[in-house]
Amino acid sequence: MATEWSRVCAFGGLCLFGLGVCLCKMVLLGRRSLCYWVGMAFSLEERLQLGIHGLLPPCFITQDVQLLRVLKNYEMKKDDLDRYVFLMGLQERSEKLFYRVIMSDIERFMPIIYTPTVGLACQQYGLIFRRPRGLFITIHDRGHIATLLQNWPAKNVKAVCVTDGERILGLGDLGCNGMGIPVGKLALYTACGGVPPQQCLPVMLDVGTDNEALLQDPLYIGLRHKRVRGQAYDDLLDEFMKAVSDRYGMDCLIQFEDFANLNAFRLLSKYRNMYCTFNDDIQGTAAVAVAGLLAALRITGSKMCDHTIVFQGAGEAAMGIAELITMAMEKEGLSKEDSLKKIWMVDSKGLIVKGRDHLTHEKERFAHEHPQMRNLEDVVRELKPTALIGVAAVAGAFTEKIIRDMASFNQHPIIFALSNPTSKAECTAEQCYTFTEGRGIFASGSPFDPVTLPDGRTMHPGQGNNAYIFPGVGLGVTACAIRHITEDVFLTAAEALAHLVTEKDLSEGRLYPPLSSIREVSLELAVKIIEYAYEHGIATGLPEPSDKAAYVRSLVFTTDYDDFNVDLYRWPEDSMTLQSCKL
């Protein structure tokens, strides 16, 4: 017995010794990480107090000079994927400098950290993977998700973006490689909406992948088996939602991103009245599209209920947009039944009509009495819509004939090619403007360059980017602690966004404010949402702020470097590196 006890003591001593070595290494690594975090912007006093004097060159530089260095290095990168990797590395090393860079020219950097480059990054995620960012929860972690959440160092999380990677943009099942999407989305929560990054948590729910190429790829970072579906999948989602709300509160926002159509609708319906949640592909896309339509009405001089709208695609984005359009029509006085009759959908099997086989519940609502038609060109010629919206990720679906037909029976045809990434767009801005002789009203999901028309006008295509909506919604919802997000919140956001489009914007072809103003746009949307929430009794944050605009601005993230205190327990809470050093 004594012998056994001595073995236990010896083993315990080795464990304690090993733990001590690990702690020492973490402290040393933490000091070296500090050098990256703020770098040469540390003052001499701070370097001395933090024990990093001598670990940095002797020069002291400002964040402005650091920004200049980053921009010069950025310009040396040979392609967009390299630029993405460079910026993600900067985000790991120096979060505040990263956001200073992004916010210095949001129009330039958004296409790199978000669509379209993020799609390419997800396809190559195993190759470009450097350091993990976010929380990876697998199907095999059932029963332990609460413990995994405890491993995340930040305790005051207000916004979670989660994906299972099954329908990444228009690229399909990318499995665990889809983590680039929630990482990119939450970067825009901060850059565009001002939500502090330490309050954001990207999550990958890895249940496997049906993508054979990934399963055979030695660089793939996820589980190497087919997707788990059915009850096991549902149990994982139930446990995840409860664990997040238990740890971070019932007012913690959970944004669903890039789930397959069937799961997207089902999970939104299941959780929307239980948790503070929304699906960006359904509701965010809907709000930005409806905002574009509301702005377009000022060009056409009509009301929403005057329009007949055809969708190329009948998935989650189409259903979300259609639902919000009907709400806007009802607000104008049209009945729900008549509003639905204004909307037609075309899926992979053709026009959705009554009596067609195998229609889902969602599609059934938009099925009307009409002979079946397979071809979109025939549908457009037959129905003569005033607006055509593409959300099926079918590149080139809006042919020259379709666009010219739209122009033949509309003075200002509304043509929205909203599929992402750019390679999946239904048509280009140039095609729309050219084939409509400059009369088309165009919006896209990914950015297009300005188009100069033969008459000398230069049109700036409106980018119907969800980033106009979800950062402002996220900021507004978390600021007033909304616990259940209604569709009216998104209609409020759409109306507020459309209101911010100026006459000058419209004359230049813009249906949205310039991306350079997106921070102010997000703050305005947040204020409108907060006003709506308190007016309709869905805000739980008390007391109600008297000056809501000032209150919102008091919450937003700043890229200014903090003053440091050498007491480890009083270092800034927004540094994951510093938090790890608190051991």
Closest CA to 126 of 224, 212, 217: 217
Closest CA to 198 of 519, 583, 579, 480: 579
pLDDT, residue 565, reads 59
pLDDT, residue 574, reads 43
- Long-range interactions of 406-409: CB distance < 8 A, separation 24+: 406/380, 406/436, 406/440, 407/435, 407/436, 407/437, 407/439, 407/440, 409/384
Q: Which of 185, 342, 424, 548 is catalytic?
A: 185
Residues 6 or more apart in contact with residue 137 via CB below 8 angstroms: 145, 148, 203, 204, 205, 206, 236, 240
- Cα 39 to Cα 66: distance, rounded to the nearest angstrom: 9
pLDDT, residue 573, reads 45
Q: Report the alpha-carbon angle 474-479-482, nearest 5.
A: 75
Beta-bridge mates of residue 152: none
Q: Are 158 and 253 in contact (CB under 8 A)?
A: yes
DSSP letter for each residue of 525-550: HHHHHHHHHHHTT-B--SSPPSSHHH
Q: Report the alpha-carbon angle 12-13-19, nearest 5.
A: 90
Query: Taking the model in full, what pTM does it have?
Result: 0.88
Q: Which of 84, 96, 99, 114 is catalytic?
A: 114
pLDDT, residue 30, reads 54
Burial 517-531 (b: 16+ CB within 10 A, else e): ebbebbbbbbbbbbb
- Cα 516 to Cα 513: distance, rounded to the nearest angstrom: 8
- Tokens for 127? 């190759």
Closest CA to 222 of 181, 175, 258: 175
- Cα 404 to Cα 432: distance, rounded to the nearest angstrom: 9
Side chain identity at residue 120, one-letter code: L
* Per-residue pLDDT tens digits for 48-104: 988 899 999 999 999 999 999 999 999 999 999 999 999 999 999 999 999 999 999
155 is catalytic: no
DSSP code of residue 58: S
Q: How far is CA 40 from CA 57, 104, 121, in A?
A: 7, 20, 30
- Cα 164 to Cα 177: distance, rounded to the nearest angstrom: 10
Positions of the chain with pLDDT under 50: 1-29, 566-583
pLDDT, residue 261, reads 87
185 is catalytic: yes
pLDDT, residue 20, reads 40
pLDDT, residue 31, reads 59
* Per-residue pLDDT tens digits for 282-295: 999 999 999 999 99
